[in-house]
Amino acid sequence: MAAIDDIISDFAFLDDWEDRYRYVIELGKALPDLPEEDRTADNKVRGCASQVWLVSEPGEGQDPVMTFRGDSDAHIVRGLVAIVLAIYTGKHASTVARLDALDTFREIGMIEHLSAQRANGLRSMVNRIREEGVKAVG
């Protein structure tokens, strides 16, 4: 999985939005497939037009390091999932709880290029992950 700093700098080099969308799709293609047993109703993100699943794996301790896995049945959304995972995976639960990934999407100029439906789905993903961070904090 690509590191978020690498994704941000790659976006800076891509001037054309067609190229940026292709890059988002490539990020999604590089995302490991989520096993069928993780595609459950509990892991499904509500509020997304396409199907999105997120799996949270907190580490040990009162403020565990969080790992997230996810997938979607739509190419661009799968790329958005890859970016969200890059933002949150490897961070402590307390950081996950307060970090708003939408700030990163604004920084790279992605928010204004998403349809209202995709932007709502992205918000749903971010809210779900932040809730997982809150739950994981001892």
* 48 assigned to active site: yes
* Catalytic-labelled residue, pool 7, 24, 31, 48: 48
- What is the C-alpha separation between 125 and 116, in angstroms, rounded? 14
Residues belonging to the active site: 48
